[in-house]
Structure 1
Amino acid sequence: MGSWTDTTRPELPAGARPLWRAVIRPERLDRTIVREVLPGAGPLAGWVEQVWSLAWSQPVPASLSALISHPTIHLTVEAGPPSERRHGHALPAELLHGVVLERFGLDLPAFGWVVGLHLVPGAIMDLTGVPAYRWTGRVVPWAAAWPGWDLTPVWDAEGPAARAQALRAVAETMIGDRVPSPDGRRARTVERLARDDRGIRTVEELAARVALSVRALQRLCRDHLGVTPRWLLRRARVLDAHELLSTTELEIAEIAHRLGWYDQAHLTRDYTKITGVPPAAQRRILETDRS
């Protein structure tokens, strides 16, 4: 096989929302929550895509919090009513979230907040030595997965912006000057190619682009990303389909054709599995949200 190189990420399609793109109903969610997003800059640039911080003072139903899952790990600090259990854990909580393979959406009570590290895909194994697949579909205590963090400054901070700044400062101290392993870098490239290169339609094509056999690619994705190559490609196409549903008036059959589905029925099946709503119904919901 030929050699491979890291790729720079292409521009997102026109109309894309770089930090909010995977949220299924961004217009409605923006009216319900306060959010702060900081890039993973400086010493965090190779490890953290963003530090995100949300707060809300009214109920947020799962239909609004739903998003198209990203193939990465989130580390969160979460607060709310003392009687609430979130992700199966009593609040307050410090949690590690593995990749969610299907629809993600969470009913949130009348008030609360969460601040989190959105890790770069492929980062968790380099940072902890534990394969990413161990966490897929699971939410576990942060300290059980990655001990040694003192998150007191985050709990002491007031408001979404201050909590994001505090978590970023703690993460910079914990991550320090680490550098990704060769396999970690390759996993990052695989994820970017699957997400951004619309010319790659099959697992075999993705493997060829990074000079791996299909079996080696599957192992790399399992250990560093926690998902299969096929899931990466399907998720990327569903995200693109959602973008076109949200920003164009293209017929759903045309969207399916442009993005490489066999027909509209196959697009509907995959889109519904990941978002929980058929594309035709989702378009009607989005139109209502914007009105």
Structure 2
Amino acid sequence: MRQPRGDSRGILDPARLMRRVRFRRHLPAAGLQPWVEHYWLIDWTLPEPFAQRVVPHPAVNLVFQRDGDGPERAEVAGVGLEVFSIVLAGTGRVCGVQFRPGGFHPFWHRSVAELTGRRLNFAELVERWPPAAVPPQRICIGTDAARCRALDALLTGWAPRPDPATDETIRLVEAIRTDRSVRRVDEFARDNGLSIRQLQRLFLTRVGVGPKWVIRRYRLHEALERATDGPLDWARLAAELGYSDQAHLVRDFTAVTGRSPSTYTLTGRRERDAGAGAVVNRGPFLYTRR
């Protein structure tokens, strides 16, 4: 049976995050799994503000957030081209939907590139809410199971339908994510019986970014996760991930994180040491079969 992802890819300083919030992932209803990667839930009670940064996946997210007893707000976040930063304070909770790369198109029915680099208030899409959809203010209440059921109802009410081009896009992106040998767009297109133009059009329309961007983002995600685990042979890792040389990987890494690989690794080790023996917020991840 499929399980939610168990990695921390894209989360900068994950040990620091997991020590301060309760974070878990759940699978959506079976009928939504072709398009939805997982639901992600975060709850927090913080004595002081906490800032977190994330290197986005090539995926659209639908996010509902409630701070304290305040009103719930919701937004649709297209593929983020830059590091995303958020400050959490007081008490609150988030219920998020991470679609599979390419998986938002059956809900959106337009080029997903229109959302790239943008975060839209969900109210701006009110005309797309089917009558059967659950009002967004009802998402962030109750147990995990209740929150997941509300998300299931909302997305199912959108009545997504299978689309061969979307299925093909999801398959291609998954191949890039899991196969390190995918390094060049021209070779990847040829191996999958597509022209470069066809591949680029497919990705822009359904993922929101081009295949080259997806390749580089997934390789950088792996470098970040490996750096979190401890010191690395960066020259060897650069070769494994398809970078031309170590300097190229280090430049990409530093540009995204704002820190050199050695500084990032040292910070991660300090966070893990600080958390050793401490009670972690039921983390780092909880998995539920649904």
TM superposition score category, shorter chain reference: 0.7 to 0.9
User: SS state of the match for residue 84, structure 2?
Assistant: coil
Q: Structure 1 stretch 248-257 or stretch 226-235: which is displaced more?
A: 248-257
Offset of residue 81 of structure 1? 5.9
1:43 aligns with 2:61: no
Q: Does 1:29 align with 2:13?
A: no
Residues 159 and 272 (structure 1 numbering): CA distance in 2 closer, same or farther, change over 3 Å? farther
Instruction: Give secondary structure in 2 for the equivalent of 1:51.
Output: strand
Instruction: Specify the SS of the correspondent of 2:94.
Output: strand
Q: Give the Cα separation in 2 of the matches to 1:161 and 1:285.
A: 35
Structure 1, 215-224 or 256-265: larger mean CA deviation: 256-265
Aligned to 2:235: 253
Query: Counterpart of 1:140?
Result: 120
Query: What is the number of residues matched between the two proteins?
Result: 266
Structure 2 residue runs of 5 or longer lacking an equivalent are 274-290
**Equivalent residue for 1:79, pick from 40, 53, 66:** 66
1:220 Cα deviation after fit = 0.8
Q: Percent identity?
A: 31
Report if the CA contact (8 A) 1:97-1:140 is conserved: yes
Find the residue that maps to 1:106 and give its secondary structure.
strand
Kindly provide the CA deviation profile for residues 163-216 of structure 1, in whole angstroms up to 9, marking residues without a partner as x: 2343234333x145x443121011101211111111111111221232111111
Per-residue CA deviation, residues 219-264 of structure 1 (Å, 9 max, x unaligned), is 1111100011111010111011122212353222222122221222
Runs of 4+ in 1 over 6 A off after TM superposition: none
Work out which of the residue numbers 50, 58, 64 in structure 2 matches 1:61: 50
Give 3-state SS (helix, strand or coil) of 1:53's partner.
Answer: strand
Which runs of structure 2 are paired with 1:111-126 in the superposition (5 Å)? 111-126=91-106
Aligned residues of 2:45 and 2:91 also touching (Cα < 8 A):
yes
Tell me by how many angstroms 1:19 deviates: 4.7
Distance across 2 between alignment mates of 1:272 and 1:139: 25
CA–CA separation in structure 2 for the residues paired with 1:38 and 1:210: 32
- RMSD between aligned alpha carbons? 2.5
Task: After TM superposition, give the deviation of residue 155 of structure 1 in Å.
Answer: 4.4
SS of alignment partner, residue 236 of structure 1: helix
* Cα distance in 2 between the residues matched to 1:152 and 1:219: 33
Structure possessing the higher relative contact order (Cα contacts under 8 Å, 6 or more residues apart) = 2
Query: Partners in 1 of 2:6 and 2:266 — Cα distance?
Result: 23
Pairing 1:112-261 to 2, within 5 Å after superposition: 112-145=92-125, 146-148=128-130, 149-151=133-135, 154-155=138-139, 157-160=141-144, 162-172=146-156, 174-176=157-159, 178-261=160-243
Q: 1:280 to 1:79 in 2, by over 3 A?
A: same
Matched residue, 2:282: none
TM-superposed CA distance for 1:160, in Å, is 4.9
Q: Secondary structure at the match of 2:88?
A: coil
1:264 aligns with 2:252: no
- Taking a change above 3 Å as real, the CA distance of residues 274 and 165 of structure 1, as seen in their structure-2 partners, is farther
Does the 8 A contact of 2:59 with 2:102 survive in 1? yes
Structure 1 residue matching 2:235: 3-state secondary structure: helix
TM-score, reference length from structure 1:
0.82
Aligned to 1:70: 57
More strand by share: 2
Residue 218 of structure 2 aligns to a residue whose secondary structure is helix
Which amino acid counterpart does residue 43 of structure 1 have in structure 2?
G
CA contact under 8 A between 1:35 and 1:160: conserved in structure 2?
no
**Partners of 1:40 and 1:230 in 2: how far apart?**
29
Q: Scaled by the length of structure 2, what TM-score is found?
A: 0.83
Residue matched to 1:287? 269
Q: Which moved more, 1:110-119 or 1:242-251?
A: 242-251
